[in-house]
Amino acid sequence: MTSITNDVPPEATATRRVDEMLAALSERLGTQFSAESVFGPPVEREGVTIVPVASVRYGLGGGGGQDQSKHQDGAGAGAGGTVTPTGYIELKDGRSRYVPLVRPAHMLALIAGATVAGMAILRPLLLRQPAKRLLRR
């Protein structure tokens, strides 16, 4: 239970606590959700440096409220995220190049989607042609 002062409206106290929690969560996530923290630091071997590259996504949420009749207030916040490898940067002889990672499951889904879309587009055309041939006879 938190004491509510007369100087500050109770809504401001809860809002301030939520803002502080979200700021702390954001700071902690920013340091933990990175390519280096998940995949390690860049690696150098025989004059070639490999720097891991990742897609980082995270979200934050929070809320607060109070019941003035019971002189209670509360606040809470939470966060979550993912780090997905996307490729690496190769540094060699003063030059750099990005090498994307190819995921077989994603490629298979792309090929299957293109096949289904192609069949959906061509089906009406293929179904009409035999009917036209029968009418000509």
pLDDT tens-digit series, residues 39-64: 788 899 999 999 988 888 878 777 77
- According to the model, what pLDDT value does residue 106 have? 79
Asked whether residue 110 is assigned to any structural domain, the reply reads yes
Report d(CA 134, CA 137) in Å as an integer: 6
Average pLDDT, the chain: 78
Asked whether residue 6 is assigned to any structural domain, the reply reads no
Asked whether residue 109 is assigned to any structural domain, the reply reads yes
Q: pTM score, two decimals? A: 0.49
CA distances, 36 to each of 52, 59, 84, 99 (Å) = 7, 19, 12, 17
Three-state SS at 6: coil
Asked whether residue 106 is assigned to any structural domain, the reply reads yes
For residue 92, is pLDDT > 90?
A: yes
Give the tens place of pLDDT for each residue, 66-83.
777 887 877 777 777 788
What domain range is 124 assigned to? 102-137
Which whole number is the average pLDDT over 90-100?
Answer: 92
Asked whether residue 89 is assigned to any structural domain, the reply reads no
The residue ranking higher by pLDDT, 100 or 82, is 100
Sign of dihedral through CA atoms 34, 40, 41, 44? negative
| C-beta neighbour count of 39 within 10 angstroms | 17
Asked whether residue 25 is assigned to any structural domain, the reply reads no
Asked whether residue 124 is assigned to any structural domain, the reply reads yes
Structural domain count of the chain: 1
Asked whether residue 86 is assigned to any structural domain, the reply reads no
- According to the model, what pLDDT value does residue 114 have? 92
